């Protein structure tokens, strides 16, 4: 029996990547990386001063499926963390939805495909956990982690 599309890790990852690229990179103009660590994204510009790094945590693929995300907001040359606070607010603006009565953001979960149109399967609800503290990495990068859980009905 084939695995349902709502439980395929490839669909989940592709859908989350699409959401962050469409909203944070395209709309806000902030580079995104899905690589591990806090390294500056590979860009043609030599001086990237802010970026967002998305780290996938554990997946629970069940009837009520979930994935944990750590969303690292990162800045350089930011002595008082002021640009970091602004970046965090930009990202948070895309993770809540004040037009919904519960203010919970819905992220579309797609059946992704490398060469044909994607099909929407359902939505994942964003639940936010407390932010981490503002920190400074050894290279001077300022960062703060937004902790999020995405939940949706999986078809087992």
The topology under which CATH files domain 9-153 is STM4215-like (3.30.2000)
Give the domain ranges of the chain.
9-153
Question: Given its phi and psi angles, is residue 21 left (phi above 0), alpha (psi -120 to 50 degrees) or beta?
Answer: alpha
Q: What are residue 152's phi and psi, to 5 degrees?
A: -160, 165
Q: What is the pLDDT of residue 107?
A: 98
Quickly count helices (H) and strands (E) in the chain: 2, 7
C-beta of residue 36 within 8 angstroms of C-beta of residue 117: no
- 83-124 pLDDT, tens digit per residue, is 999 999 999 999 999 999 999 999 999 999 888 999 999 999
């Amino acid at each position: 029996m084939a695995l349902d599309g709502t439980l395929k890790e490839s669909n989940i990852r592709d859908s989350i990547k699409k959401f962050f690229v469409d909203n944070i990179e395209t709309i806000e103009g902030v580079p995104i990386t899905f690589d591990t660590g806090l390294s500056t994204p590979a860009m043609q510009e030599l001086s990237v001063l802010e970026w967002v790094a998305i780290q996938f945590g554990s997946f629970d693929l069940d009837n009520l499926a979930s994935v944990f995300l750590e969303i690292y907001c990162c800045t350089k040359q930011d002595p008082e963390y002021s640009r970091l606070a602004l970046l965090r607010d930009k990202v948070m603006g895309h993770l809540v939805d004040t037009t919904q009565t519960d203010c919970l953001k819905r992220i579309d979960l797609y059946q992704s495909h490398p060469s044909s149109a994607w099909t929407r399967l359902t939505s994942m609800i964003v639940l936010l956990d407390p932010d981490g503290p503002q920190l400074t990495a050894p290279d001077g990068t300022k960062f703060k982690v937004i902790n999020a859980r995405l939940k949706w009905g999986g078809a087992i």
